[in-house]
Amino acid sequence: MKYITLLFVSFLITNSQSIFAQEQVTDEELKKYAVTMDSVNDMKASLLEEISAMVKANTGLTNARYNELSKIMNDEAKLAAAKATPEEIAFMKSIAEKKSEGTAEITQTLQTMAKEYVGATSYNKVKKALATDAELKAKYQTMLEELDKVQVN
């Protein structure tokens, strides 16, 4: 019984320390985090638009054919069964390269902004808090909406 009581007390102390140790997210930290994520979201949307434009501009490939090939692109046997032409395969590889380059750029931007603009500690604190604090998440969503309005105007 003494061992169980000791474990329970240890559990309470550990959990209460983590609750009290969790710092509050400031409005400034949340705003910087929102600006960062808004920028990343814009970059993702832009990349999707570019890829969509590439697919539309390719007159030799319908959307249905693109979707079919995109699912099997890494399987030579399935590509052969689908009778993918060398031109289609080359185009799909160019799309994959564009996605890869865009994703790398987005990742680099996120890392740079998280470290240099938000601050790595603040970035992680806000990200963690957003996962558990509904009130903070609502405030964050409002900030994102405001940033979207500013960009539209």
pLDDT for 101-135, tens place per residue? Answer: 999 999 999 999 999 999 999 999 999 999 999 99
Is this prediction's pTM over 0.85? no
What was the pLDDT predicted at 7? 43
The Cα–Cα gap between 114 and 36 comes to: 7
What was the pLDDT predicted at 19? 47
Coil, strand or helix at 34:
helix
| DSSP one-letter string for 70-91 | HHHTT-HHHHHHTT--HHHHHH
pLDDT tens digits, one per residue of 70-79 = 999 999 999 9
DSSP tag of 58 = -
Q: Which portions of the chain are predicted below pLDDT 70?
A: 1-22, 151-153
What was the pLDDT predicted at 148? 85
What was the pLDDT predicted at 23? 79
What was the pLDDT predicted at 153? 55
The token pair that represents 20 in the structure block: 């009290």
Which residue, chain included where needed, has tokens 């983590």? 18
